[in-house]
Amino acid sequence: MISDNFSLMIHGGAGALQHIRREGNESDFMQSMQRILEGGRQVLVSGGTALDAVEYCAVHLEDDPLYNAGRGSVLNEYGEVEMDAAIMDGQGLEAGAVAGITNVKNPIALARRVLEKSEHVMLIGKGAREFANLHNVEIMTDNYFVIDSRIRQWREAQKAGGMMLDHEDVTPQHKLGTIGAVARDGNGNLAAATSTGGIVNKRWGRVGDSPIVGAGVFADNETCAVSATGYGEQFQRTVLSKMVSDFVHFKGMDAQAAATAGINYLVDKVNGLGGVIVIDRNGHCGVGHSTSGMIYGAIELGGESLCHLA
Ligand code: GLY
């Protein structure tokens, strides 16, 4: 029987968020998060699984050009959108991931197809695109992805001759992109999803943490579901999402304690910058970030949806 003991969290990146307030689009983010969380609630109350809910939320975050994922992804050194995504089912630790993909409208939907329809965990580049065609995943033209604000940001990065980590600003404390979702359904199953355009002006086929199981995403029904955002290299080197799960497994922490411990570890080990959202096996929600701000929303154990841009 399906209970209403479901929980759902989403995030839209971490960083210093002053520029969002300065530009006056704080309410755009809040409305978008609220709408997506409530849509995710409907998926769960109508009997959808945790995996369905995180895919639903990630697809809608990817479709919204406010976020650095899907439409609205940042541009690489060639001025192209190249995306990474992963989804994980906490029941059986099944996972699907894609990296360095182009023109796929919803990388997270492709990642789910990898999970369900292939015997592999990760597909990349051209092969991933072929797999997408085989499974009728929606493909869009470059125009769909390349939006004006991203072109301006990319030109700035090219002028500065470096890579940038997020939406609008060169300084690292500004908002980091990447979206994600974690859920626990009424049957106690956990799932996590993370999707990103990566970092601005990225080179050489750079892939961040988002599609790496254990780094940018992790889910295990016995511990928790985690989605990360921040400097991908730091999350890869610390295997941060699995680390958060280990805090639950070995130290008996709940979601909030594990999120805090994970971020403390990230900072202690590599002076890392970013954040995590976490739901534990009991449906409790946690969040942690070493950046000054993070955009996230949560429904804990069927309660009201609360969004934060702090
Ligand atoms: N956290 C996203 C990335 O570094 O690509």
Q: Are 229 and 176 in contact (CB under 8 A)?
A: yes
Residue 207 DSSP code? -
For Cα atoms 37, 260, 59, give the angle at the middle one, nearest 5 degrees.
25
Ligand 1 geometric centre to CA of 31 (Å)? 24
Which pLDDT score is estimated for 256? 98
Lowest mean pLDDT among 3-12, 19-28, 190-199, 239-248: 19-28
pLDDT tens-digit readout, 120-141 = 999 998 899 999 999 999 999 9
Residue 229 Cβ contacting ligand 1 at under 6 Å:
yes
Residue 175 DSSP code? P
Q: Are 12 and 33 in contact (CB under 8 A)?
A: yes
Q: Are 25 and 149 in contact (CB under 8 A)?
A: no
Residue 197 CA: nearest ligand 1 atom is 5
Nearest to 180 by CA among 74, 75, 37, 44: 37
pLDDT category, 3, cuts 50, 70, 90?
A: low
Q: Are 184 and 54 in contact (CB under 8 A)?
A: no
Percent of the chain at pLDDT exceeding 70: 94
CA distances from 164 to 1, 33, 153 (A): 48, 24, 9
- Please state the separation of Cα 243 from the chain's center in Å: 17
Residue 212 Cβ contacting ligand 1 at under 6 Å:
no
Containing 235, the helix (H) or strand (E) segment is helix 232-238
CA distance linking residue 163 with residue 182, whole number of Å: 29
Residue appearing with tokens 């009997």:
47
Q: Are 8 and 255 in contact (CB under 8 A)?
A: no
CATH number of 7-75+145-309: 3.60.20.30
Containing 31, the helix (H) or strand (E) segment is helix 26-45
Ligand 1 geometric centre to CA of 178 (Å)? 6
SS3 assignment for 99-132: EEECCECCHHHHHHHHHHHCCCCEEEHHHHHHHH
83: burial class by Cβ within 10 Å (0-12, 13-18, 19+)?
Answer: buried
Domain ranges of the chain: 7-75+145-309
Which pLDDT score is estimated for 187? 97
Ligand 1 geometric centre to CA of 186 (Å)? 31
CA distance linking residue 7 with residue 75, whole number of Å: 33
pLDDT tens-digit readout, 255-284 = 999 999 999 999 999 999 999 999 999 999
Residue 164 Cβ contacting ligand 1 at under 6 Å:
no
Residue 232 Cβ contacting ligand 1 at under 6 Å:
yes
Would you say residue 155 has pLDDT above 90? no
Instruction: Identify whether 178 is a catalytic site residue.
Output: yes
CA distance linking residue 191 with residue 53, whole number of Å: 8
pLDDT tens-digit readout, 93-117 = 999 999 999 999 999 999 999 999 9
Give 224's strand partners: 280
What value does the mean pLDDT take over residues 34-49? 98
Ligand 1 geometric centre to CA of 39 (Å)? 26
Cα atoms in the 13 Å half-sphere on the side-chain side of 83: 32
Residue 178 Cβ contacting ligand 1 at under 6 Å:
yes
Which pLDDT score is estimated for 172? 43
Which pLDDT score is estimated for 167? 39
159: burial class by Cβ within 10 Å (0-12, 13-18, 19+)?
Answer: exposed
